[in-house]
Copies of this chain bind each other. A is one copy, B any other.
């Protein structure tokens, strides 16, 4: 690792990688002012070890004489991206989670949190008092959007420029440790979203130290991170150390790797192999599984296959295709947004296979896309109806609760939570939060601010939308994006919340606990809805889940007679009726087993005896 590395007895090693520099100075600026020459080793690392350094010491590096730059491996930037780096002491924190042994992914109900807008305070510490509420909902795995130091105090986190530093306005390293420790105490796993495909534009000093980027590959953000060119060993060390850092010093349970399709490595040992090897080593030491989950738009099973068969070895990947094909069924306007996911049989394929695009021509991409993921365990995919991208990358930051009515909202929840995948909720989704989640930044450079404003307007051109998003730089845009937690159990919010809780509870049934694709069959009903046949692995439990996406009823002849089935859930039941909810009759089953599924409904039936 590089950075300020505290050792025993107040010794601290300062270490920075700059293979093409002749010399490097360490400039300590607090509590004393001191300039120290650093020694270079053969791999291009400069280092110096200094006695009597305490946590809180602040420093710069000088790759050129007199030019103070913060440490790109800084663990804390108390004054923001332009200020000095601060030495952090990890030994002094007293972890209380020694008994924590992690959690199997199959049990996880994931929950994406943006720290700045989750609470009024916008800090790690402010989340802690809400953990009991989350546990009560059934949520047991938080996923924090990136917390690496970004410019200013408002940002989604993907503009981070200090991948090891914990955003000062969120509460820095101490706050983050307190949060993770509190989560573990309550049986909650914690994931962190990390960005290895680019570094943000403001406060980015990487090029002033070393060749972290390469023009061999281009990404949406410019030159790609240099994972395979000359000097790439140092880059690979830097980012793989970052993965280890979160596990080792912050006790995270897993990482969500942002947009891995923009990470290019043509070398013989792919960066993900390299990371996996390091993480596997740490797993042995810690005695618990450490999760790596990819965001990938490749539709390539290579991402989740094991390295032995040429894969990257991720535990799971986000399944955007599920979102897209579900969304077009839930929101009638969805078909314009996702032209390549219009058909209901595509949602059926998302349930059974995973990737919807598995080699067919995709208009949006102007090429054939993907390969088949049929037969791959559902544990390998994370699904969602909403997340920061799907909500925040709308012009008006509308959550689903704004876009569709309560029946459709409940239908969306049913589609998600009855799926044989790992569900992820976006903060507030569980009670139908209707505050927007906007895109916001807080840059210092006016040119950059204007570029971001223009960029946001162009973002929506693809969807042919009139583009008048709120000003991303304005503080109001950020404040308007905050959750209103107090609504959580009130009125219609409370009913939506109860519905989510019921569905989460229901997932514990053996028939819904299986992720083996052999145990699920999905059929399209009258081109209006789906029925999911789900069986437990031991075949002792058999459940039918009906999802009617149309505004008309669907008839379905059940195997066996009416007496063979018991109703576990009906979204038309009066207890799920919100104020603005249209009243539909509850479902009915005739003696001969003819089921009528009311419009926009979720019905779950269980076979009383084993009948098929």
Contacts and interface: CB of A to CB of B under 8 A. Distances in A.
Contact of A216 (B217, B229, B310, B368): B217
Contacts of A302: 268, 310
Contacts of A370: 268
B310 A268 contact: no
Contacts of A216: 217-218
A359 B233 contact: no
A129 interface: no
- Which of A218, A264, A266, A371 has most chain B Cβ within 10 Å? A266
A369 interface: yes
Interface residues of A toward B: which range?
A: 35 or more
A533 interface: no
A73 B439 CA distance: 48
Interface string A181-225: 000000000000000000000000000000000011110000000
> From DSSP, what is the main secondary structure of chain A's interface residues?
loop
B233 A361 contact: yes
Q: How many copies does the complex hold?
A: 2
B230 A365 contact: yes
Given A261-B266, A305-B310, A310-B309, A368 B298 contact: no
A353 B269 CA distance: 17
Interface in A116-145: none
Contacts of A310: 302, 305, 309-311
Nearest to A215: B218
B367 A229 contact: yes
Interface string A566-605: 0000000000000000000000000000000000000000
A232 interface: yes
Contacts of A325: none
A231 interface: yes
A447 interface: no
Nearest to A302: B310
A455 interface: no
Interface in A488-502: none
A267 interface: yes
A232 B231 CA distance: 31
A367 B230 contact: yes
B229 A268 contact: no
B367 A233 contact: yes
Contacts of A228: 367
B366 A230 contact: yes
Given A217-B218, A305-B310, A232 B267 contact: no
- Which of A267, A299, A370, A371 has most chain B Cβ within 10 Å? A267
Contacts of A261: 266
Given A309-B309, A366-B230, A371 B269 contact: yes
A179 B490 CA distance: 85
A370 B270 CA distance: 10
A72 to B, nearest CB: 19
A267 B298 contact: yes
A46 to B, nearest CB: 17
A274 to B, nearest CB: 10
A41 to B, nearest CB: 13
A298 B217 contact: no
Contacts of A229: 367
A507 B305 CA distance: 41
Contacts of A217: 216-218, 264
Nearest to A371: B268
Contacts of A368: 233, 269
A266 B267 CA distance: 13
Given A218-B216, A233-B361, A267 B309 contact: no
18 contacts: A216-B218, A217-B217, A217-B218, A218-B218, A228-B367, A230-B367, A232-B367, A233-B368, A261-B266, A264-B266, A267-B367, A267-B369, A268-B298, A268-B300, A268-B301, A268-B302, A268-B359, A302-B310
Given A218-B218, A233-B368, 18 more contacts: A19-B366, A217-B218, A230-B366, A231-B367, A232-B367, A233-B361, A261-B266, A264-B264, A264-B266, A267-B298, A267-B369, A268-B298, A268-B369, A269-B359, A302-B310, A308-B309, A309-B310, A310-B311
Interface of A: 19, 215-218, 228-233, 261, 264, 266-269, 298-302, 305, 308-311, 359, 361, 365-371
> Top 4 A-B pairs ranked by shortest CB distance?
A310-B310, A268-B300, A230-B366, A268-B371
